[in-house]
Amino acid sequence: MTLSNPDTTYVLDARGIAKRFRHAAIFAAIETLDHGETMRFVNDHDPIPLLHQIERRYGDQVRIQYVERQPERVVIDFGIQLTTDEHAASGQASQAAGCGSGSGGGCGCSG
């Protein structure tokens, strides 16, 4: 049973994370989100290579939407959108072995 709150937004301010750890931290945060949840990502630059990596890695499961786009401050919402089958599978996977085991069912995309 998933205990997540759909339409919830969590903030990840990457400006306080060492640059060499940022991508790993962002992927880990995305993979803990459940269907309907959003991570609001704040950064000091426009992370275009990261966005391409997210699109390749997660496809349509992660919606990318700019909230703010300034030279030294970029805010992007990463929203999780799972199909009914993916949502059911992510709940089963988290109970079995771990994607998103910290809170909800997880995104189901790192299986």
CA 5, 79, 90, 22 torsion-angle sign: negative
Predicted confidence (pLDDT) at residue 3 exceeds the cutoff of 80: no
Please indicate, yes or no, whether the overall pTM of this predicted structure exceeds 0.75: no
User: Which pLDDT tens digit goes with each residue over 57-94?
Assistant: 999 999 999 999 999 999 999 999 987 665 555 554 54
**What class, spelled out in words, does domain 9-96 have in CATH?**
alpha beta
Report the pLDDT value the prediction gives residue 89, as an integer from 0 to 100: 56
Report the pLDDT value the prediction gives residue 8, as an integer from 0 to 100: 87
Tell me the β-bridge partners of 16. Answer: none
Predicted confidence (pLDDT) at residue 34 exceeds the cutoff of 70: yes
Report the pLDDT value the prediction gives residue 45, as an integer from 0 to 100: 96
Q: In the 8-state DSSP scheme, what is residue 96?
A: H
